[in-house]
Structure 1
Amino acid sequence: MRRAAEPGKRDAKGQYLFDLLCHHLNLLEKDYFGIRFVDPDKQRHWLEFTKSVVKQMRAQPPFTMCFRVKFYPTAPASLKSRVVRYLVFLQIKRDLYHGRLLCKTSDAALLAAYILQAEIGDYDPGKHPEGYSSKFQFFPKHSEKLERKIAEIHKTELSGQTPATSELNFLRKAQTLETYGVDPHPCKDVSGNAAFLAFTPFGFVVLQGNKRVHFIKWNEVTKMKFEGKTFYLYVSQKEEKKIVLTYFAPTPEACKHLWKCGIENQAFYNDALVGAGRGARADSSERVAVIADENYSPADSVLPTPVAEHSLELLLLARHLNGAPCSIEEEKESEASTPTAAEAEEPGALRALCPGAGGAQAEQVNKFVLSVLRLLLVTVGLLFVLLLLLIILTESDLDTAFFRDIRQTPEFEQFHYQYFCPLRRWFACKIRSVVNLLIDT
């Protein structure tokens, strides 16, 4: 799953390289995967698809990148695509080898036996002499006792399983483990204790040693932000007050990478994997320790300001263009001077409206329609400008100081990963469905 980028289109974006690789693998379900690379400072990064590949790399070509599972499926054994299942199998097998998938000795022996059955088939005394399992490296470290247990399971329990069946059984077992899908980020807590922060299909976890000490479901995470090396996780739980978990990354770059991975994972699983497995996997009796209390303040939020808050400004702007009052005070005065329905029903009011009533009413209707049309035009124009600016910021390769400063703000990056990317995936999925429907017909 490792490949060196070949020279070619120097201005190619990450999406081009990713699509090229997926085409080579005949991979249609792309959303679970990504391309990872490490910069000269040993900091890991996920390749961003909307930016130029060359501009993201700080090393000299040829560039070495790794095709990895970026978002682990909640139920990998239920994946329909054989190619996707096999790639996820390879990723979890790698996690086991690197010590990320922590488990009991009995579970470790079973997982290794599934790998053995998938790779060499049934046990054959003529082909597999004593100690044959030791030729395979399943874990960072393992004892002779564990090797014997692996061989015993392989000989007695898995005979007759096809490689595909063994891979499926491996996936079913792996997804039940607490550390399934964990991509650990080294940090320290407020007491200076070493910890690993990670994001799984079911929520945010904190590991210390070989134990999971905290688990927070995705629907309990209200916000994530970073300042320098400090990472903040805002949590809201039914039985607790709003709390903030604070951790410290080794470098500001590592902290930004942690934050970016967090908002991408939350956006992906909230968007694509709602409901099913999260409640069953969460341990409802487990409580998250309160590390620091802090009242939530909307001013601290890094989420984009809702468009609805600008509706009054748009309305007043439209009224100003129509020659109507444009200040809030004038708006109130205008409303105060408008006769109410009760006043209009009084005889005096009727007499005042009667002369030329039909023409005056028609003129008022025309003015109202024109005002609405002007408001719609202004609104559509503003939306078009905002959409154009958004497309330039997210899809173009312009690297001016103005655009670069906006792209690097946490607010924009959070909007990009939590809102824009899921929306783009949704549109792409709909377009693929329409195209497939047209091809079938």
Structure 2
Amino acid sequence: LQRETKGQFLIDHICNYYSLLEKDYFGIRYVDPEKQRHWLEPNKSIFKQMKSHPPYTMCFRVKFYPHEPLKIKEELTRYLLYLQIKRDIFHGRLLCSFSDAAYLGACIIQAELGDYDPDEHPENYISEFEIFPKQSQKLERKMAEIHKSELRGQSPPVAEFNLLLKAHTLETYGVDPHPCKDSTGTTTFLGFTAAGFVVFQGNKRTHLIKWPDVCKLKFEGKTFYVIGTQKEKKAMLAFHTSTPAACKHLWKCGVENQAFYKYAKSSQIKTVSSSKIFFKGSRFRYSGKVAKEVVEASSRIQREPPEVHRTNISQSRSSHSLNKQLIINMEPLQPLLPSPSEQEEDLPLREGIPLPKEDDISAPLISSSPVKEAREYEDPPSEEEDKIKEEPLTISELSYNPSASLLPTPVDDDEIDMLFDCPSRHELEREDLDSFEELEADENAFLMAEEEELKEAHRALSWSYDILTGHIRVNPLVKSFSRLLVVGLGLLLFVFPLLLLLLESGIDLSFLCEIRQTPEFEQFHYEYYCPLKEWVAGKVNLILYMLGCS
């Protein structure tokens, strides 16, 4: 890796290595020395993003979960998504009801073991594998019942696809849980899905703000704000994170997910600021395709699908082996880019399911499409399932408690509440009251300081006027530089409005068209020019109306 190598190079290298075309759903995640997780930004240097010393350890993960698995074109992409969801299930990130959990577990068993065989599978064969963080005997019996009857005859691709079809309907599908405290001090988990911004407390989803209703995401220090519309009323939700770095990471994840799922074209994406004040706060812009563009690109794939290599867990039945497969199979095998001259070592079976290598891609997979086969096993979704409700919703009999090691800010299982050291509401109110009393007591001092500033400004203007009129002698070089600066500012004030007039006039010139198509100009046009134009037009109409009345 060169010092100037950007993150996109590494992402492209991994996807090319595995012959993955639908790569926009995936990303690379790493952990800094402070144990804060980050997504590798594609348009920035890798070395500048890393705060540790090489070798770097990175993880290949699903970053944006596909909203509709039916629109995934290739089996390799579906398999990688299946591995990620299997990992989410194991770490408690995909919370669901008992019946849904049994079905998901049965799909995993069917995909990994195949059909039930009484000669090979003993009575309690499900208990040998840890699929869920809390796996009761009742759940295992239900999984075995579904595996023996409902899923018989399904090939691994079909069983995996059925898991995707069920998983994508769950409330916690695609949620990367961020631990926070709300205004009452209650521990909550924030997440971003294809539907919008979600908040979980206990076993309930307490908030869902759809992406079209999210007006702004911002953060200040350790406080994250979501400004949106709920029940036709504008509302602002505030949450407290454990560290400023965790808050900034949460904000970036929100900005990226909103851009990916909300917009129809990547050209519509704007640079977002964390503060309303100009030149203050963090600025960030998602660089990549949006969901609609990814689906359109997938529909144009015409190649022979690469062969997908799976590992049959029946060859190693220990729960530790399955545990390692669930955790490691999405991990990158090398922390750095492999050298072309280095010979690849065979990955032992116990270290996870290897992804296809370059030499294995030539042979196409000969099987029927799981998309077609899955329709034989799945009932068509009802209209009620398609409707997304924004009201509080109970999603499981258990509380949402994803494994702490998988949280964006890793902590021990019993230390989530200790992350936060926020003062109580009474202390905050008392601090605000004390601050108000101090300001009120020093009001005269503020007024005096303001008068001094006005006097200094008046003296500076008088001094500048005397220099320009020649009443004060100055160095000729300084005088020439001042005149040059004034002329330059004058030209700038003339050229900028002229360029703006040409851009808004609709004149069809090549360089003007190129400027109009840039995201920066579109953002300036819609956020500044159009409101200013409407304001000026309103003032002019008001003046004309007043003149007409007089």
Give 1:379 shift: 11
1:291-345 C-alpha deviation (Å, 9 max, x unpaired): xxxxxxxxxxxxxxxxxxxxxx9997249989xxxxxxxxxxxxxxxxxxxxxxx
Alignment match of 1:221 (pick from 214, 222, 245) = 214
Alignment match of 2:494 (pick from 317, 321, 324) = 317
Calculate the TM-score normalised by the size of structure 2: 0.51
Q: Is the 8 A contact 1:121 1:162 kept in 2?
A: yes
- The 2-side partners of 1:315 and 1:379 are apart by 23
Q: 2:48 — aligned with what?
A: 55
CA distance 1:246–1:23, change in 2 (3 Å): same
Q: Which amino acid aligns with 2:389?
A: D
Give 1:80 shift: 1.2
CA distance 1:64–1:319, change in 2 (3 Å): closer
CA distance 1:159–1:62, change in 2 (3 Å): same
- The 1-side partners of 2:19 and 2:107 are apart by 26
Give 1:284 shift: 5.2
Question: For 1:135-174, what aligned pairs fall within 5 Å after superposition?
Answer: 135-174=128-167
Question: For 1:23-422, what aligned pairs fall within 5 Å after superposition?
Answer: 23-237=16-230, 239-271=231-263, 272-273=290-291, 280-283=386-389, 317-318=494-495
How many pairs does the alignment contain?
309
Two-structure CA RMSD over aligned residues (Å): 3.6
Give 1:11 shift: 3.0
- The 2-side partners of 1:115 and 1:48 are apart by 33
Q: Is the 8 A contact 1:202 1:278 kept in 2?
A: no
Q: Which amino acid aligns with 1:241?
A: K
Give 1:143 shift: 1.2
Unaligned 5+ segments in structure 2 are: 264-289, 296-382, 394-489, 528-550
Give 1:282 shift: 1.5
Q: Which amino acid aligns with 1:141?
A: K
1:84-120 C-alpha deviation (Å, 9 max, x unpaired): 1111111111111110100111111110000000011
- The 2-side partners of 1:211 and 1:286 are apart by 7
Q: Which amino acid aligns with 2:494?
A: L
Give 1:270 shift: 1.1
Give 1:135 shift: 2.1
Q: Is the 8 A contact 2:176 2:192 kept in 1?
A: yes
What secondary structure does 1:93 align onto?
Answer: helix
Q: Is the 8 A contact 1:314 1:379 kept in 2?
A: no
- The 2-side partners of 1:109 and 1:197 are apart by 26
- The 2-side partners of 1:214 and 1:153 are apart by 33
- The 2-side partners of 1:56 and 1:81 are apart by 32
Q: Which amino acid aligns with 1:283?
A: K
Q: Which amino acid aligns with 1:235?
A: G
1:29-59 C-alpha deviation (Å, 9 max, x unpaired): 1111100011111101000111111221112
Calculate the TM-score normalised by the size of structure 1: 0.63
CA distance 1:320–1:133, change in 2 (3 Å): closer
Q: Is the 8 A contact 1:217 1:282 kept in 2?
A: no
What secondary structure does 1:236 align onto?
Answer: strand
- The 1-side partners of 2:141 and 2:491 are apart by 74
Give 1:16 shift: 0.6
Give 1:377 shift: 12
Q: Which amino acid aligns with 2:243?
A: T
Give 1:380 shift: 5.1
- The 2-side partners of 1:9 and 1:22 are apart by 19
Q: 2:376 — aligned with what?
A: none
- The 2-side partners of 1:252 and 1:379 are apart by 45
CA distance 1:226–1:95, change in 2 (3 Å): same
Give 1:236 shift: 2.2
Give 1:372 shift: 6.9
Q: Is the 8 A contact 2:79 2:160 kept in 1?
A: yes
Q: Which amino acid aligns with 2:116?
A: Y
- The 1-side partners of 2:154 and 2:111 are apart by 8
